[in-house]
Amino acid sequence: MQPDEILDYLIPGIMLGALYAVIAIGYTLVYGVLQLINFAHSEVFMVGAYSALLALTWIDPSSNPTTFMSVLLVAAGLAVSGTAGAATAFTLEKVAYRPLRRRNAPRLAFLISAIGASYFLQNLAGKLFGRDSRALPTVFENKKVFSVFGTQVTILQLLIVCAAVLMMVGLDYLVNRTKLGLGIRAVAQDAETAGLMGVDIDKVISRTFIIGGFMGGIAGFLFGLHLQLSFTMGFLPGITAFAAAVVGGVGNIRGAMMGGMLLGIVESFSSPIFGESWRYVSAFAVLVLVLMFRPTGILGERLGRSA
Amino acid sequence: MRAPNFFYKGLGFAVLKRRVIKIALPIAAAALVLSACGSDDDDDKKKEGGSTAPGNTGGGNKPTWTIGFQAGLSGENAQLGINEENGARLAVEQANAKGDLPFTLKFKTSDDEASETKSVSAAQKLIDDSNVVAVIGPAFSGPTKAASPNYAKAKLATVSPSATNPSLTSAGNNFTAFLRGTPNDNAQGSGMAKYLSKKLQAKKVFVVDDKTEYGVGLSKVAKDELAKAGVQVVSDSVPKATPDYGPISTKIKNSGADAMIYAGYYQDGAPFAKKLKEAGFTGPKFSGDGTNDSQFVSLAGDAANDWFLTCPCSDANVEAATKQFTEDYKKRFNTNPSTYSAESFDIANLVIDQMKSFGAEKIGREAMLTKLKSASYKGLTKSFKFQPNGEFDGATTFIYQVKGGKIGYMGDIDQLVGG
């Protein structure tokens, strides 16, 4: 790799990392309040993508949209995928987790329930939308917007990074500055005491799922624009994002953002340095390395206490 | 719960009511699930017909024999399997409709999801059915490699319309029941190399495989043949389902290669094509029969334009010999035949042709295998003959190019290159 090619790989890496970060937040938020890995989150992501496919084909199946139409279509895609993701996550919590929580089920039951829900949603989507891959309709022509030191940045890359950054800033504000955020942090620190202090734990948990699902759904739509859709599309990004959450320190929101970015960039650079087949090897080697020196992840210091 | 409440009271079960429901509900649910599973088997038996046990010729009934079919019919690369299934099914239906068969033909499909791990059980499903006398498939090289030892043990002949990995017929494998109904990847790989070096005068070619049995085999032959022709070769592997084809596309662009070959399936070829276009790579792009499918074009959109796609198959929609077949196919399945539909139709007819030679006698699997090995059959697409190791006898490769959203047929590579 030549030094002047660094940006050629850094920019796609940032784009992929931004997507991983947004998905990782979904894992980490739920872990924060429930100490539970929501393995069905990858299917929330997939549902987001398919809902955008349905909405976009319904609005405009033509392949040459005007600029105004493009903006409208992207906005519609974001809105629909976010809503569908939030609705799926909300239902998931109601159906797959809340009944177990009410009965004080052991940790393992939650895990099985999560995997079951994941398979159910995956195969339901396969049944409804077909098991072949689908592409989203052309929402905009992916032109170059500007170039940084000779490396072109495309509209899609810009859109993905902007949407991810906006969501992350918004989430950071929500968690650190609002009453709901205070509730989320309180439940994450000590659910029982938070309950005694008048926090409605059920409501906080449900809303946490909604927030994570909203972001996951939008990530699904953006990922669909970048690649394509299939009923198993959530699996690999889901696993990587989960790893990103762990790298950053599971339960820590800023950690998830950092972890996502780190893994995305490492994956991207593994292609010119080691070869494309070392993509996941290098990403997961980073995971192991980080955990060797910081077993709780980069920013996670509360893990030991909460476990 | 009002109605059952009343019901139990009436029967004097009031005290037991709660307990009965607690026990009865799960049992009822389990029974439902079991009966749902069971009904599949019942259907199979009904379809096979009671009086036509294997080899039974009594009572004036014609015996019933089944042609098995194994391919990925669901999952990510299902389209090729479906094309083949339709072709073979049409052949079986037409043979039955003609009415001159000394037996009744059945067609039984088994889905391996194009997966090596699921292939073995998919094959077992056909092996266990003693009515199955020959199998068409498996469609892909990986699943074929996984299932062939079992087919060999059962002496059940498999004729694949599209498993093109060269190593499948190598002697060490002992895949004694495997027959290849198509020229292998050596033909495709050397066809691509010939076209690139002679027709397009390429100096440096970037070869990418997808790490599958098929992709690695195809890319190896292409690389060897290119090197022999004095072309510089660079290569890399991108495993299936990579989340981003951006970096590899940039790498190809920056390598200064003037052409590229992707040895993989359309599922991944499509996003790859998109990113190559974005990266600004404008040289000729080649791929093999795994990508030669209308799905490639519908997934990749504009980015599929100008891709060269090779195939041991000719285009049924264009060739004169397959005109009638195309019409029948359209009428039956409401869609145009696509990659390997006609080849699969031919192979089914080849199998039926050999079955006919048994007359109304019992068809044994081993005898059927022996007959198929020495069979020669003139199909709509080409003439079928097998070498002693099961390899297809012949080596023609055809080339296509995507133009304006359609896969356009160009013709026989040897003729186009002129030598």
Q: Which of A15, A134, A138 sits opposite B301 (nearest CB)?
A: A138
Q: Is residue B324 part of a domain?
A: yes
> Using 50, 70 and 90 to split pLDDT, how confident is the model at B17?
low
> Looking at the domain assignment, is residue B299 inside a domain?
yes
> Which of A5, A12, A132 is closest, CB to CB, to B254?
A5
Chain B contact probe: residue of A131, A223, A229, A268 with most B CBs at under 10 A: A131
Are residues B239 and A9, on separate chains, in Cβ contact within 8 Å? no
pLDDT tens column, B177-230: 999 999 988 899 999 999 999 999 999 999 999 998 889 999 999 999 999 999
Residue ranges of B 124-183 with Cβ closer than 8 A to chain A: none
The two tokens of residue B414 are 């040897």
DSSP B66: E
| B292 and B408 inside one domain | yes
**All domains in chain A, ordered by first residue:** 3-306 (1.10.3470)
Is residue B325 domain-shared with residue B306, that is, in the same domain? no
B402/B378 same-domain check: no
**Is residue B325 included in any domain, yes or no?**
yes
Interchain CB contact of A237 with B (< 8 Å): yes
Closest CA to A33 of A294, A252, A272: A252
Supply the pLDDT for residue A145. 85
Residues in A closer than 8 angstroms to B241, CB to CB, are 236
- Quote the minimal CA–CA distance from B207 to chain A in Å: 13
Say yes or no: B105 and B166 in one domain: yes
Is position B161 within any domain? Answer: yes
> DSSP assignment, residue B61?
P
pLDDT band (50, 70, 90) for residue B61: confident
Which H helix or E strand runs over B79?
helix B78-98
Rg (CA), chain A: 19
For residue B347, being part of any structural domain is answered with yes
* Contact criterion met (CB < 8 Å) for B239 and A63: no
On whether both B174 and B195 belong to a single domain, the answer is no
3-class DSSP state of A131? coil
Of A138, A228, A271, the CB nearest to B251: A271
Tokens 């607690």 correspond to B22
| Inside any domain, residue B47 | no
Report the phi/psi class of residue A259: left, alpha or beta, with left for phi > 0 and alpha for psi in -120 to 50.
Answer: alpha
A152: contact with B, CB 8 A cutoff: yes
3-state secondary structure at position B311: strand
CB < 8 Å from A in window 237-256 of B: 237-239, 241-244, 246-248, 250-251, 254
Residues B117 and B131 occupy one common structural domain: yes
Q: Is the pLDDT of residue B59 over 50?
A: no
Per-residue pLDDT, A151: 84
The model's pTM is 0.78
Q: Do B301 and A240 touch (CB under 8 A)?
A: no
Give the domain range for residue B107.
64-184+317-385
A133 CB neighbours in chain B (<8 A) are 76, 267, 270, 295, 299
Which pair of tokens denotes residue A290? Answer: 């980080």
Inter-chain touch B75–A154, beta carbons under 8 Å: no
Q: Is B197 in the same domain as B281? A: yes
In chain A, the residue whose alpha carbon lies closest to the alpha carbon of B208 is A276
> Least CA distance to B245: which residue of chain A?
A227
Contacts B270 to A, Cβ<8 Å: 133, 135, 228
Helix extents (H) in A178-252:
179-189, 191-196, 201-226, 235-248
B290 within domain boundaries: yes
B75 phi/psi in degrees, rounded to 5? 95, -170
What is the predicted pLDDT for the residue at B31?
54
State how far the alpha carbon of B244 is from the alpha carbons of A80, A225, A268, in Å. 24, 12, 8
CATH assignment of the domain containing B341: 3.40.50.2300
Contact present, B359 and B102 (Cβ < 8 Å): yes
Mean pLDDT for the stretch of residues B89-111: 94
b vs e for B177-186, b when ≥16 Cβ sit within 10 Å of the residue's Cβ? bbbbbbbbbb
Q: How far is B98 from chain A (nearest CA, A)?
A: 35
| B160 is a domain residue | yes
Reference A268, options A6, A10, A1, A2; nearest CA is A10
Question: Do the chains contact at B244 and A16, CB–CB below 8 Å?
Answer: yes
Please tell me whether residues B208 and B298 are part of one structural domain: yes
Question: Would you list the DSSP string of B134-186?
Answer: EEE---SHHHHHHHHHHHHHHT-EEEESS---GGGG-GGG--TTEEESS--HH
Query: Given an 8 Å threshold on Cβ–Cβ distance, is B278 in contact with A267?
Result: no
- Are B242 and A276 in contact, with CB atoms under 8 Å apart? yes
- pLDDT tens digits for range B377-396: 999 988 899 999 999 988 88
Query: Which B positions 191-230 lie with beta carbon below 8 A of chain A?
Result: 208, 211
Q: What is the pLDDT of residue B23?
A: 57
Say what the pLDDT of residue B53 is.
Answer: 42
Tell me which residue has tokens 């896969």. B407
| Residue A1 to residues A6, A263, A273, B362, Cα–Cα distance (Å) | 8, 19, 7, 66
Cα nearest neighbour of A237 on chain B: B243
> Can you give the pLDDT at residue B19?
54
Q: Can you give the pLDDT at residue B321?
A: 87
Whether residues B152 and B190 share a domain: the answer is no
Mean per-residue pLDDT over chain B, rounded: 86
Q: Which residue has the tokens 């080691």?
A: A274
| Span between the terminal Cα atoms of chain A, in Å | 44
Do residues B199 and B243 both lie within one domain?
Answer: yes
| Reported confidence tier of residue B339, pLDDT bands at 50, 70, 90 | confident
Cis? peptide before B284, omega within 30° of 0: no
**B180 and B198: one domain?**
no
Distance separating alpha carbons of residues A98 and A110, to the nearest angstrom: 10
Residues in Cβ contact with B120 at an 8 Å cutoff, skipping those fewer than 6 apart: B146, B147, B150
**DSSP codes of every residue in B348-410:** HHHHHHHHHTTTTS---HHHHHHHHHT-EEE-SS-EEEB-TTS-BS----EEEEEETTEEEEE
Task: Look at chain B and report how many structural domains it folds into.
Answer: 2
What is the H or E stretch that residue A22 is in? helix A6-34
- Predicted local distance difference test score (pLDDT) of residue B60: 55
Would you call B73 an interface residue with chain A, using a CB distance cutoff of 8 Å? no
User: What are the Cα distances from residue B341, in Å, to B61, B93, B325?
Assistant: 32, 15, 10
What is the C-alpha end-to-end distance of chain B, expressed in Å?
A: 82
Is there a contact between B237 and A277 if contact means CB atoms under 8 Å apart?
Answer: yes
> Could you give the CA distance from residue B127 to residue B106 in angstroms, rounded to a whole number?
15
Give yes or no: residues B68 and B164 share one domain.
Answer: yes
DSSP state letters, A261-293: HHHHHHHHHHHHHT-GGGHHHHHHHHHHHHHHH
Between A133, A237, A272, which is nearest B76 by CB?
A: A133
CB contact under 8 Å between B244 and A275, yes or no, is: no
Q: Do residue A228 and residue B242 have CB atoms under 8 angstroms apart?
A: no
Read off the pLDDT band of B28 (50, 70, 90).
Answer: low
Shortest CB distance from B79 goes to which of A9, A16, A132? A132
Alpha-carbon span B136 to B157, nearest angstrom: 8
List chain A pLDDT tens, one digit each, 307 residues: 778 888 989 999 999 999 999 999 999 999 989 888 999 999 999 999 999 999 999 987 676 788 888 999 999 999 999 999 999 999 999 999 999 999 999 989 999 999 999 999 999 999 999 888 899 988 888 888 888 888 889 999 999 999 999 999 999 999 999 999 999 999 998 999 999 999 999 999 999 999 999 999 999 999 999 999 999 999 999 999 999 999 999 888 999 999 999 999 999 999 889 988 899 999 999 999 999 999 889 987 654 444 3
What is the pLDDT confidence band of residue B240, given thresholds at 50, 70 and 90? Answer: confident
